[in-house]
Structure 1
């Protein structure tokens, strides 16, 4: 998930914002305690007055030097918390006033170098509080060095991770460099959303269109399979022309992405030349009690039975990996289609033939039938084979 380039960039910035002397033996580690709620607190703390806080902290940028995770017994680990991490990094701070600060960080989920502006109050206990949550707690401020207690994250089991961090006051030039690097306002990030109501979208022709409803600036849409479609955009309006059946589109802006999957019931888009699989049955019957039967007369369990694809004898090896069916379209004679997920090449009869379908069929005359085209779909949403299926009502 993390590329070498991303790792290199993070290492560069960690170097910029760290002391050149990385000898952890010189650190005088404080000790901490955990209260009954599992919250970490310093074992001892010298109060800082509001006047001292405004004099020593407000109006300055603070660059990260080291962070040490706090153990459950209140001691600190001696290896820097971020030393072996990729795809994430420490937070830099700019306390721009006595009520507002900026947090500069890298967010891997976007990915983006950006900032968030936080409104805070300085409270008793040396805490910077925002909406009653602690941004960080100052342990000491001596000259250009500030030591803090901050929350680093939450483990999978819900346990909070706390750290003892050392920060150094930035020069004005360093503040400017941070502002240039972390330029994205992360408090104003939008999801990339489109006007497609159903995903996957099943259309009757070869062309469709949709609007981009929200984005973080310019966007682009690309298909998973080159040559599967033609895409044209004008403003926030996107037009798609299918060149084969099944298109998996990914839309990107500078921060977010979204997926749009499109299939068609247009017979001209049906595939040719990939007759790789057979289904267990091409035809079954249903009686008045809505029991299913195979052509040889044996009963098929509606609740537990399934249709399964089996490769034809001439097909083995890589082609089966290339055309592994993970879903299908069940298209009836009226061109109405349903998208159905498959499980290891199987489709259950309960999914293929919903109860309302059986009800409709068994309310008809003896010999009435329903015919489907079962169109097999690959993981990258290509319809590659069409197989017939028929169910007939016999009293």
Structure 2
């Protein structure tokens, strides 16, 4: 067995630690910020325009690492994009001395695409896009590695974020694969705009029409449940014919989706054969003190009393998951509609019966009533049951 000198081993470890520390100091430089909050490296060696065009222009550059630069000018040791939600590094292609393509993922759509910008390479090794702001201050180009200060964005408070970055030159095949992976031209993005502005639309008949005002290429209009309606499109005009009393309509292009709920008060479209639930009350009384009274004579607390749906005994089982009461359309005798999201099939009485409605009933005098159709809606936006409800002033 070989014997090792403890002193020699300690010396070797010390030498290793010292070497690692020096290497770390070389990797992470110290930067400065000017009065405008812009970060720069004050000791950057000048890289001429000729050298820049020779070593950078005409090549694609893929991300290797990014370390955020703190306000004290020191680099943070951890990788900037590690665990960062909603953000990812960009890739660059300097396709000429004046045109730069940036390849990126846009989480808001989401989509992989590119943006083409005019740029200039000016003093202090800075790459400035669209004559507005610096995106890179190049510190070195050594063989196929490019190191730079990169502008990363702005925090909510207005503080600019900069990183110390390393990029690696792409081979031709890598650049081709990058371009294939980021195919959408982000400079030509459009909003998916339709003439429907709300999430819920109420109509009296069976027909509804709207326009697709703007989209990213071809668009598709579909119903969440094809049995609820028929849809025809003519250029940017869309006609919907309801076959049921409600339908969930989705408009989509290659990037975005718009969805709205279409509801009709046409009595011919009302569902039949799905009398699964009862509400707590079908009738209430309003007394002279403007209190709501249950059929058993109990005076309800207006602020906290609730109406709740209760499944009839014969329907307990798997069918209830399909007909889960998630929404409630309240239709009055004038076919005016209010829509509510139900919490576990419940609605507060002060939402169903606003104080102004009760005041109007009291002013109308004894014997007058308010009548509603309470239409239960499942999670798919389909009306599956209609329940009567009224309040009588006595």
TM-score of the pair, normalised by structure 2 = 0.80
CA RMSD of aligned residues (A): 3.5
Once the two structures are TM-superposed, the CA of residue 50 in structure 1 deviates from its matched residue by 5.4
Unaligned runs of 5+ in 2: 1-22
Write out per-residue CA displacement over residues 60-115 of structure 1, whole angstroms, 9 at most, x where no aligned residue: 233215114448662533x7957x99997532212345554221123344343311
The corresponding residue for 1:91 is 90
Q: Is the 8 A contact 2:81 2:87 kept in 1?
A: no
CA distance in 1, matches of 2:77, 2:114: 28
Matched, 1:221 2:215: no
The corresponding residue for 1:16 is none
The 3 A distance-change label for structure 1 pair 62 and 352 is: same
Once the two structures are TM-superposed, the CA of residue 336 in structure 1 deviates from its matched residue by 2.1
Q: Is the 8 A contact 2:122 2:128 kept in 1?
A: yes
Write out per-residue CA displacement over residues 306-352 of structure 1, whole angstroms, 9 at most, x where no aligned residue: 21112222232432222221211111122222212222211122221
Unaligned runs of 5+ in 1: 1-25
CA distance in 2, matches of 1:71, 1:305: 57
The 3 A distance-change label for structure 1 pair 208 and 146 is: same
The 3 A distance-change label for structure 1 pair 64 and 155 is: same
Once the two structures are TM-superposed, the CA of residue 283 in structure 1 deviates from its matched residue by 0.7
The corresponding residue for 1:101 is 100
Alignment of 1:11-160 (within 5 A): 29-32=27-30, 45-49=43-47, 51=49, 54-56=52-54, 59-70=57-68, 74-77=75-78, 81=81, 90-97=89-96, 100-122=99-121, 126-130=125-129, 133-150=133-150
Q: Is the 8 A contact 2:63 2:91 kept in 1?
A: no
Relative to structure 2, which stretch is displaced further, 209-218 or 181-190?
181-190
Q: How many residues align?
A: 367
Alignment of 1:293-372 (within 5 A): 293-372=293-372
TM-score of the pair, normalised by structure 1 = 0.79
Alignment of 1:372-387 (within 5 A): 372-387=372-387
The corresponding residue for 2:13 is none
CA distance in 1, matches of 2:368, 2:254: 55
Larger gyration radius, structure 1 or structure 2: 2
The corresponding residue for 2:19 is none
The 3 A distance-change label for structure 1 pair 80 and 329 is: closer
Relative to structure 2, which stretch is displaced further, 260-269 or 39-48?
39-48
Q: Is the 8 A contact 1:67 1:163 kept in 2?
A: no
Alignment of 1:114-263 (within 5 A): 114-122=113-121, 126-130=125-129, 133-150=133-150, 163-170=163-170, 175=175, 178-263=178-263
The 3 A distance-change label for structure 1 pair 113 and 134 is: same
